[in-house]
Structure 1
Amino acid sequence: MKKLLDNIEEYIVASSLFIMTSIAFANVLSRKLFQASWSFTEEITANLFILASMLGAAIAAKRGSHLGLSILTDLFPKKYQKFVTLISTVAAVVFCIVLIKEGFVLAMQEKATGQLTPALGWPEWIFGTFVPVGGIFIMIRFIQFGIKAFKEEGVK
């Protein structure tokens, strides 16, 4: 169970990429063989791309792979570098809180107005929740990375 929770983003991203690839390939075959395109494939693919991007950012946060300017942290002695990492982690968490809040507001507006997706006619707020949910994953992973980095003697 711990392995599932530690890697849940990877599993969801892999599943999303598999679904996106499969339906895009099926749509190409449909166009070539039957001269008929499935309009819903673009809708699903675009929304799953948003989900995969958000969770990909969470994976990068977990691994400490987000772009950063090490030129600033490299100016400090090793023992102070972890405080710079702490400050950047706090800034990332604040950004995530704004992302979660604004994403939630947008999804609730979509629900309140009854917006539907053009091709499938599904409630738009379902896909709108990908942003705040992704923001929650990113925030959790930034916090985990920040705690881990702060406990280490020196930060890489």
Structure 2
Amino acid sequence: MSPADPEDQPRPAATDPDVTGGEGSALPGVLGMIDIAIARTEAVMLAAGVLLMALNTISNVIGRFVFQSSLFFSEELNRILIVLITFAGISYAARHGRHIRMSAIYDALPAPARKILMVAISIITAILMFALCYYSVSYIVTLASRGRVLPSLQIPVWVIYLWVPVGFFMTGAQYALTAVKNLLDKDIYLSTSVLEGYDDTETEI
């Protein structure tokens, strides 16, 4: 199979909202509801973050060059939005199977072994994400106890990092749901809605 073969690429599942044009989940029942809730939260966080950052940056440029006075809080607001976009983005990337993977050994395995390994990877990554969520909450509590505030906005510094545990939690949940999806389905899934792009059937030459 040549490297350029489209079968080498991750494939969206038939129930992926991007394919069906609607909103849905590849998981049944309560798990599907959780999956949809995470997707909606990601969409709101990413859309709000990107739009607010663009509005803030454009307003600052106009103020600087037209009115000779930039927005005094622009840099601090962008810092908050960058954190928001980054940690919502890791969950979004996990949902669409877009995280960088070290797959040299994985690629050489037969389908049954790849499936087992994918479940193990998903579970271990989920545990790691939940652990990082816990430690990030501890860090925020420590910051809050110090009482520091941002110089311009005059809001507590810990507010900047509120999105960190949210992003880690959603990413952990996404990997946990991926493990469940692989246990329930005969195919191999990189995420709840993205099929692995390998085809083990022989092709004619």
Runs of 4+ in 1 over 4 A off after TM superposition: 1-4
Decide which of 105, 121, 145 is 1:88's aligned counterpart. 121
CA RMSD for the aligned pairs? 1.9
Q: Which residue of 2 aligns with 1:129?
A: 162
Q: CA deviation at 1:69?
A: 2.2
Q: Which residue of 1 aligns with 2:67?
A: 34
Which amino acid is the alignment partner of residue 48 of structure 2?
A: S
Decide which of 37, 49, 55 is 2:82's aligned counterpart. 49
Conserved in 2, the CA contact under 8 Å of 1:79 and 1:153?
no
Q: Which residue of 2 aligns with 1:148?
A: 181
- In structure 1, distance between residues paired with 2:187 and 2:166: 32
- In structure 2, distance between residues paired with 1:39 and 1:92: 40
TM-score (norm 2): 0.70
Per-residue Cα deviation, 1:94-131 (whole angstroms, up to 9, x for no partner): 32123112211111011111111121010112222211
Number of residue pairs the alignment of both structures matches: 156
TM-score (norm 1): 0.91
Which amino acid is the alignment partner of residue 55 of structure 2?
A: S
In proportion to residue count, which structure has more helix? 1
Structure number with larger C-alpha Rg: 2
Decide which of 109, 132, 136 is 2:142's aligned counterpart. 109
Note closer, same or farther for the CA distance 1:4–1:147 as it changes in structure 2 (3 Å cut).
closer
Decide which of 97, 101, 120 is 2:130's aligned counterpart. 97
- In structure 1, distance between residues paired with 2:185 and 2:105: 19
Q: CA deviation at 1:154?
A: 3.6
> Any unmatched runs of 5+ in structure 2?
1-22, 24-32, 189-195, 197-205
Decide which of 76, 83, 107 is 1:74's aligned counterpart. 107
Note closer, same or farther for the CA distance 1:63–1:149 as it changes in structure 2 (3 Å cut).
farther
- In structure 1, distance between residues paired with 2:187 and 2:131: 30
Q: CA deviation at 1:134?
A: 1.1
- The share of aligned pairs that are identical, in percent, is 22
